[in-house]
Chain A
Amino acid sequence: MEQYVLSVKVENRTGVLARVVGLFSARGYNIDSLSVSKTEDIDVSIITIVVHGDDRVIEQVKKQLNKLIDVIKVYDHTEIPSAQREIAIVKIQLTPAKRVEVFQIAQTFGAEIIDISQKALSLEVVGHPSKVENFIEIIRNYGIKELIRSGRISFARDRA
Chain B
Amino acid sequence: MKGARQVIESLIKENVDYMFGYPGGVLIPIFHELFDSPIKFILSRHEQGAIHAADGYARATGKPGICIATSGPGATNIITGLATAHMDSVPLVVITGQVSTEMIGNDAFQEADVTGITRPVTKHNYLVQDIHDLARIIKEAFYIATTGRPGPVLIDIPVNISNTDCEYNYEKPVDLRGYKPVYEGHPVQIKKAAKMISEAKKPVIYSGGGVILGNASKELTEFAKKTGIPVTTTLLGLGAFPETDELSLEMLGMHGTYYANHAVNESDLLIAIGARFDDRVTGKIAQFIPNARVIHIDIDPASVSKNVIVDIPIVGDCKLILQELINITEKPDITPWIDEIRQMKLTHPLYYDSESPNLKPQYVVERIYEITKGDAIIATEVGQNQMWAAQFYKFSKPRTFISSGGLGTMGFGLPAAIGAQLGVPGKRVINIAGDGSIQMNIQELIVAVQHRLPVIIAILNNGFLGMVRQWQQLFYDKRYSQTCIKCAPDFVKLAEAYGAVGIRVEDKAGVDDAIKQALAITDRPIVIDFVVEKEENVYPFVPAGGTVKDTILRELA
Contact = CB atoms under 8 A, between A and B. Distances in A.
Interface in A53-105: 59-60, 63-64, 66-73
Contacts of B305: 59
B176 interface: yes
Nearest to A25: B120
A147 B300 CA distance: 44
B300 A18 contact: no
Nearest to B181: A67
Interface string A101-139: 000000000000000000000000000000000000000
Contacts of A63: 301-302, 306
Contact of B144 (A15, A69, A73): A69
B475 interface: no
Interface in B82-140: 115-116, 119-120, 123-124, 127, 129
Contacts of B129: 14
B357 to A, nearest CB: 51
Give the 6 A-B CB pairs with smallest separation, nearest first.
A63-B302, A69-B124, A72-B178, A69-B179, A71-B178, A64-B302
B373 interface: no
7 contacts: A10-B178, A14-B127, A26-B120, A66-B301, A67-B300, A69-B179, A73-B178
B172 interface: no
Interface residues of A, number: 20
B177 interface: yes
Contacts of B179: 69
Contacts, number: 38
In this complex, the member of A14, A26, A63, A69 whose beta carbon has the largest number of chain B beta carbons within 10 angstroms is A69
B57 to A, nearest CB: 24
Interface in B133-192: 144, 176-179
A13 to B, nearest CB: 10
Interface of B: 115-116, 119-120, 123-124, 127, 129, 144, 176-179, 300-302, 305-306
Nearest to B302: A63
Nearest to B176: A69
A135 B119 CA distance: 41
A77 B301 CA distance: 20
B115 to A, nearest CB: 6
B302 A60 contact: yes
A67 B302 contact: yes
A53 to B, nearest CB: 15
A66 B116 contact: no
A86 B178 CA distance: 28
A19 interface: yes
A22 interface: yes
B235 to A, nearest CB: 23
Contacts of B177: 72
B127 A11 contact: no
B178 A70 contact: yes
A18 B116 contact: yes
Contacts of A10: 178
A19 B116 CA distance: 9
Describe A's contact surface by its main secondary structure: mixed
Contacts of B301: 63, 66-67
Nearest to B144: A69
Contact of B115 (A15, A69, A72, A73): A15
A16 to B, nearest CB: 10
A11 B115 CA distance: 17
Given A15-B119, A18-B119, 11 more contacts: A11-B178, A15-B127, A18-B116, A19-B119, A22-B120, A26-B120, A59-B305, A60-B302, A63-B306, A68-B124, A68-B178
B116 A69 contact: no
A26 B302 CA distance: 16
B555 to A, nearest CB: 39
Given A15-B127, A66-B301, A22 B119 contact: yes
Contacts of B124: 68-69
Contacts of B178: 10-11, 68-73
B150 to A, nearest CB: 13
Nearest to A19: B119
B282 to A, nearest CB: 15
Nearest to B301: A63
A78 to B, nearest CB: 18
Contacts of A11: 178
A22 B176 CA distance: 21
A66 to B, nearest CB: 7
Contacts of B123: 69
A71 B302 CA distance: 14
Contacts of A15: 115, 119, 127
Contacts of B115: 15
Nearest to B303: A63
A44 to B, nearest CB: 9
B26 to A, nearest CB: 20
Contacts of A64: 302
Nearest to A10: B178
A43 to B, nearest CB: 10
Interface string A3-32: 000000011001100110010001000000
B173 to A, nearest CB: 16
Contacts of A71: 178
A139 to B, nearest CB: 40
Contacts of B300: 67
A71 B177 CA distance: 9
A111 B365 CA distance: 77
A14 to B, nearest CB: 7
A72 B176 CA distance: 9
A7 B515 CA distance: 60
A13 B302 CA distance: 24
B306 A60 contact: yes
Contacts of A59: 305
A21 to B, nearest CB: 11
Nearest to B140: A69
A71 B124 CA distance: 12
A18 B127 CA distance: 14
Nearest to A73: B178
A64 B124 CA distance: 13
Given A15-B127, A71-B178, A72-B177, A66 B120 contact: no
B314 to A, nearest CB: 15
